[in-house]
Amino acid sequence: MSTRQKIVFCDFDGTITVSDNIVAIMKHFDPPGWEAIVKRLVEERAISVRHAVGEMFRLLPSSRQQEVIQFAISNAVIREGFSDFVAYCKQNGIKLLVTSGGIDFFVYPLLESFDIPREHIYCNGSSFEGETIEILWPHACDEHCGADCGMCKTSIIRSYPADDYERILIGDSVTDFQGAKLVENVYARSHLIELCEELKLSYVPFETFHDIIRDLEATIQA
């Protein structure tokens, strides 16, 4: 029997929300050049997440701040079961951290109605002071990570050592690749499934947060 505290590192875009909010913003405002940046990140894996996200937002003028924020918030849909999952974690003494490669101006407002302390939410920042939107990186990679993540999940995960914590990552895509290699348990959907298959990492697939609750219940009872 493990007495280690369970801790969850939960991705935001495409995980807590049904689709990726950054991609949705880019598709909607469609600034010339964004698709080439995504291709270089996702298909060619030629640039880092930080580089790609920073470059994409630089394609949007700061003058469109309100439109961009409004669109992101009204467009996002929260994945089924998330509020039950937040409650489940609380009831079972599981520490829930939201570790998001998303941006503060949509992550915080979209999580506002859930019972998650702000200091448990990690995401990137933003500035609308310059000509174009500038993404800020308050949680950049530490000296152990060379992946140039932007919001570095592995730096956060490493601060919860495996000796003391049973670490659970929930995610869907590129921003979860590095963290998935590090933790004891992975719940995956979409691209993250492909990566786990490729690297032969064990994972549990999920579509809703009820799937994850069911699996956690089963492991507790096993």
Q: How far is the CB of 175 from Mg ion (least distance, A)?
A: 5
Taking the C-alpha atoms of residue 100 and residue 62, their distance in angstroms, rounded to an integer, is 22
Largest CA distance in the chain: 56
Using the rule CB under 5 A, give the single segment among 63-71, 85-93, 134-142, 193-201 that binds Zn ion.
134-142
Q: How far is the CB of 142 from Zn ion (least distance, A)?
A: 7
Amino acid identity of residue 206, one-letter, is: F
- Triad 8, 57, 51: Cα angle to 5°: 65
From Zn ion, Mg ion, none, interface partner of 145 (C-beta below 5 to 8 A by class): Zn ion
Identified binder of Mg ion from the candidate list 7, 9, 10, 11, rule CB under 5 A: 11
Taking the C-alpha atoms of residue 149 and residue 164, their distance in angstroms, rounded to an integer, is 25
Identified binder of Mg ion from the candidate list 13, 24, 170, 204, rule CB under 5 A: 13
Q: Which CB atom, from 148 or from 215, has the smaller least distance to Zn ion?
A: 148
- Which residues from 141-160 bind Zn ion, rule CB under 5 A? 141, 145, 147, 149, 152
Structure tokens at 18: 């049904």
Q: Does 79 bind Mg ion (CB under 5 A)?
A: no
Residues in the site for Mg ion, rule: CB under 5 A? 11, 13-14, 172-173
Residues in the site for Zn ion, rule: CB under 5 A? 141, 145, 147, 149, 152
